[in-house]
Amino acid sequence: MGRRRQKHLVLILAREFASNLATPTLIADADGTLVFYNEAAEEVVGHTFAESGEMPLDEWSSSFAPRDKHGQPASPNERPTRIALDERRAAHERFRITSRDGVDRDVAVTAFPLFAHADEFVGIVAIFWRE
Amino acid sequence: MAAARLTIWGCRGSVPTPGPDTVAFGGNTSCVEVTLQNGAVLVLDAGTGIIDLGLDLVDRGVRRLHLLLTHLHLDHLEGLRFFAPLWDEHVTLDIWGPPSPMLGLQERIARSFSPPLFPIELRDVPARLTFRDVPREPWSIDGVSLAADLVVHPGPTVGFRLETAGSSFAYLPDHEPALVGVVERSSDWISGAALAEDVDVLFHDAQYFEDEYETRVGWGHSSVSDAVAFRRAVGARRLLLFHHEPQHSDDSLERLEAHAQSIAAPDEPKAELAREGMVIELP
């Protein structure tokens, strides 16, 4: 019997949780693929999840040209989402981004890893706010 | 003989319901026997249905068993203490169950074998017991392929998929997929879909009529319409409505079955009620 394609239950539950939040929230799987962001996040990033679809999280994040407080491009390795994926710990940072609608926005991002079991990393959740 | 024979020893949900109003469909809680062509016996869940099964296994001289537990709510475990093979030192029983983030399977089951709930400790059970977390990847037991996945139900709970060379069967007795969406959702985002996709036979939770479900959302069970929608989403070829609500009499269950059949499209398979003693042969 081959392994059938199925999101981990933790991601399914996380998506349902995020769907009911007014806080912008995104979810990526353990491979770093953006698998969902909610309607509140759509307002911040300027397009719907239906439009973007699943894609590598780094690619998606880079499309907003995140900069630090000095206006310098934020290193991908310093982004909270990348830290949560690679180091599997929570991280927080502030950025200025340029949304798809061309508007610059100051946002704060908090990302944390999801473990189904101590040795089973299944993905990350990132929440963000307009500053 | 068929590649596998499924025998329902209990299909009631939540609590046993003996009495004249439940004679037709039975009052024992969840237990399904899977007997393979090679004589191997797998048991799904240890509700009170497992008690009569145990006596039958003793009569048949079966001494090698696998018990697959979907979860440890009492209605899926309460028969284990009275399972005759457990009290035979010549029996070898592998118990498979959902991994928990906190306690091991043996420690969790041992709670029901300890005072004040029970006079005999699990360590004093004579049968040779082995406790195993279900693997994250598909595995095989005695020639049948199995897969287990976590599904939506309070606490660590899995469903099972079994495949023989020519057929497949999914067992999701306690499942509330509607809590996270079934309709208009791609199947990889539907709880339990990978287990039940295109199976020949699906046993699925259908505890409630829709109006009953409205006041029980989040309790971990499905309305009959959600069970029908889940079958449609996964393309199962036959649906057995399982985990009957304890307050549903035989008459009430027959209405539930008729309702399930009325909401299915004309070209869809007609849902059937699981009943104690029912035997399904998988080719």
Task: Provide the CATH number for the domain around residue B235.
Answer: 3.60.15.10
Task: Provide the CATH number for the domain around residue A102.
Answer: 3.30.450.20
CB–CB contact A1 B180 (8 Å):
no
Looking at residues B159-187, what average pLDDT do you find?
Answer: 94
Per-residue pLDDT of B246-258, as tens digits, reads 999 999 999 999 9
How far A118 CA lies from chain B's nearest CA (Å)? Answer: 7
Q: Would you state the pLDDT for residue B21?
A: 97
Q: What's the pTM?
A: 0.92
| B220: nearest Cα among B134, B155, B161 | B155
Which one of B136, B151, B182, B199 makes the best mutation probe of the A interface by having the most chain A beta carbons within 10 Å? Answer: B136
Torsion of the alpha carbons at B224, B226, B228 and B232, rounded to the nearest 10 = 180
Q: Would you state the pLDDT for residue A68?
A: 87
Q: Would you state the pLDDT for residue A17?
A: 93
Residues of chain B by 3-state class (helix, strand, coil), percent to 5: 25, 25, 45
Looking at residues B238-266, what average pLDDT do you find?
Answer: 97
CB–CB contact A8 B150 (8 Å):
yes
C-alpha to C-alpha distance for A38 and B33, rounded to whole angstroms: 43
In the predicted structure, residue B39 carries a pLDDT above the cut 90: yes
Looking at residues B212-219, what average pLDDT do you find?
Answer: 96
Q: Which residue of B has its CA nearest to A14?
A: B180
Instruction: Transcribe B217-250 into DSSP letters.
Output: TTSS--BHHHHHHHHHHHT-S-EEEESB-TT--H
| CA distance to A42, A80, B153, B218, per residue, from A26 (Å) | 10, 12, 24, 24
Q: Per the structure, how many domains does chain A have?
A: 1
Helical residues (DSSP H) of chain B, grouped into ranges: 49-60, 105-110, 193-196, 210-213, 224-234, 250-263
Instruction: For residue B274, name the pLDDT band (cuts at 50, 70, 90).
Output: very high
Which residues of A make CB contacts under 8 Å with B?
1-10, 12-13, 15-16, 116-118, 120
Residue A121 located in a structural domain: yes
Residue A61 located in a structural domain: yes
Per-residue pLDDT of B43-57, as tens digits, reads 999 999 999 999 999
Which residues from A are below 8 Å from B194, CB to CB?
Answer: 4-6
* Domain span at B140: 4-282
Which one of B134, B141, B158, B188 makes the best mutation probe of the A interface by having the most chain A beta carbons within 10 Å? Answer: B188
Residue A2 located in a structural domain: no
Per-residue pLDDT of B96-128, as tens digits, reads 999 987 889 999 999 999 999 999 999 999 999
Kindly state whether B180 is in contact with chain A, defined as any CB-CB distance less than 8 angstroms.
yes
By percentage, how much of chain B surpasses pLDDT 90? 95
Average pLDDT across each block of 10 residues of chain A; the chain has 131 residues. List them in order.
81 94 95 95 85 90 86 89 96 90 89 94 94 77
In the predicted structure, residue B238 carries a pLDDT above the cut 90: yes
Q: Per the structure, how many domains does chain B have?
A: 1
Which residues from B are below 8 Å from A9, CB to CB?
Answer: 149-152, 191
B 88-107: CB under 8 A from A: 99, 101
Q: Would you state the pLDDT for residue A3?
A: 61
In the predicted structure, residue B174 carries a pLDDT above the cut 70: yes
C-alpha to C-alpha distance for B5 and B170, rounded to whole angstroms: 14
How far B109 CA lies from chain A's nearest CA (Å)? Answer: 19
Token readout for A116 is 């189904």
Residue A96 located in a structural domain: yes
Q: Which residue of A has its CA nearest to B180?
A: A16
How far B282 CA lies from chain A's nearest CA (Å)? Answer: 17
Which residues from B are below 8 Å from A31, CB to CB?
Answer: none
Mean pLDDT of chain B: 96
Using DSSP's 3-state secondary structure scheme, residue B158 falls into strand
* Domain span at A35: 9-15+23-130
Instruction: For residue B209, name the pLDDT band (cuts at 50, 70, 90).
Output: very high
How far B190 CA lies from chain A's nearest CA (Å)? Answer: 7
Kindly state whether B246 is in contact with chain A, defined as any CB-CB distance less than 8 angstroms.
no
Residues B119/B156, Cβ–Cβ less than 8 Å: no
Q: Would you state the pLDDT for residue A45?
A: 79
Q: Would you state the pLDDT for residue A5?
A: 75
